[in-house]
Amino acid sequence: MPANLNLHGKRGVDLLHDPRLNKGTAFTEEERDALGLRGLVPPKVTTQAKQLSRILGHIRRKQNDLDKYTYLVSLQERNEALFYRVVIDNLDEMMPLIYTPTVGQACQKYALIFRRPQGLFISMKDRGRVKRVMQNWPEPGVRMIVVTDGERILGLGDLGANGMGIPVGKLSLYTACAGVAPQKCLPVMLDVGTNNEELIADPMYIGLPQNRLRGPAYDELVEEFFTAAQEVFPNVCIQFEDFGNTNAFRLLERYRDRACTFNDDIQGTASVTLAGLYSALRVSGADLASSTFLLFGAGEAGIGIGHLIVEALKTVGVSEAAARRRCWFVDSKGLVVSSRNDLAEHKLHFAHDHAPVSDLLEAVETLKPNMLIGASGMPGTFSEPVVRAMASLNKRPVIFALSNPTSRSECTAEQAYTWTQGRAIFASGSPFSPVTIDGHSHQPSQCNNAYIFPGVGMGVIASAARRVTDEMFFVAAKTLAGLVTEEDVRHGRIYPELRHIRNVSAAIAAAVADVAFQRGLTDMVRPDDLAAQIRNEMYNPEYAAYV
């Protein structure tokens, strides 16, 4: 039975209109009599399995992925358990529909497909009454909030309030991948305006049609939100998502020691990337301590990856200074070097003494990296000369093109494998189809944050941790890498298959919770069998029996 559900006195149409309680045609004969449902649903009683088969047929007949996304959202709004049954049992097929890459299209057209709110919209007009707004949410037991201000949605830029699709999608993955109960999840959009002139001029735009709030007024709204969230939902964890570089780093630093919070773009991306790098080393036979990393893109994701690589190098005996020297960055103006006077603060840790280098190809040829990681949002920038240069330097070049959605990827899987004669160890942020080179099929790996953040969140919830630390993301990366089997490696996979993701999330949750207990970050008494308790708490979308 789904966790902590009861009917709250609902019956008849009211029961059918509650997606958390509705079972559609699966209501039994006894339930139909007792709950006033006769005539309100077709007379034939069906099982959830039969419903699942019918829903899959509907989805697969849709003409395009956006139509499939819209249909799945509609299903979630009317029958939550069936929605999660569909997703969990068909994760390979459904994850690209409910999250990247399709969610990017959905956010771009959000005003056209918006039907009903699935979270809270808190705008700059709500300053001084944010707590009252949050008290309007009907679920009192929220433990996980994903919040965005819509400024940097995937690699698509400023989509303002249309970015609500991101926290909605992320929280669906918390439930599907890690079993965080839906009633514990709350998507939040901080509508502080948008600098996207097309949206401001669009009469269909659902957000405030004005330029973005900046400066002290912005900070005051965020502060009021954090304060209200902690008061209304004690023990809540707040995940920053898709904030612009202007705010992402400083907000994380401001709140990480005051609240249970993390930034998935900075910390989650770093963790899943590090896990992939560990696995890539198993495939290539190379050594972490002697590897050189070149990162293209010095924003939230890239800098986060760099910092976690440094921590990984330190664990194998490399000094911090030497570890930083192993990580090089190229941004829109060339190699990040200490002589530049245009560097944002978050780039300074990786600004090394070196002659200026103007472009990525020259950086590859000069620095001779073993691993090339793209987190730029600039499609096509891993050009044929760049990839071929990596192949000439490395027997098994590691090429991670991580920008989302697929349209923003630095290169495609086909390009990476073709230009390296099939020798590349490739991963991307969004999924690519297998590629055949000289009769051999190559399965691209997906470096998807969904391998990390759901498990981290579940671990924080299960341990009632007061803080989320970088150590938790490091152990999450190690745990994920450790779940890559020898069979995976033989097939060139550097992540476990998605069908195992609930097991992956449970293992990560246990590792994260263990950190919370070891570091005294919780007042809970550690259970005798932590892993078993976490598995017992995971949501399972089975229908409850109401009579």
Q: What amino acid positions are annotated as catalytic residues?
A: 99, 170
Count the Cβ atoms, other than its own, within 10 Å of residue 259. 18
State how far the Cα of 117 lies from the Cα of 120, in Å rounded to an integer: 7
State how far the Cα of 27 lies from the Cα of 23, in Å rounded to an integer: 6
State how far the Cα of 145 lies from the Cα of 151, in Å rounded to an integer: 18
DSSP 314: H
Q: 260 φ, ψ to 5°?
A: -80, 95
Count the Cβ atoms, other than its own, within 10 Å of residue 474. 20
State how far the Cα of 316 lies from the Cα of 191, in Å rounded to an integer: 44
Q: Taking a C-beta distance cutoff of 8 angstroms, is the pair 242, 153 a contact? A: yes
Q: Which residues contact 135 (CB under 8 A, 6 or more apart)?
A: 232
CB contact burial 143-159 (16+ within 10 A = b; e otherwise)? bbbbbbbbbbbbbbebb
* SS3 per-residue string spanning 321-375: HHHHHCEEEEECCEECECCCCCCCHHHHHHCECCCCCCCHHHHHHHHCCCEEEEC
State how far the Cα of 405 lies from the Cα of 431, in Å rounded to an integer: 9
Helix (H) or strand (E) holding 263: strand 261-263
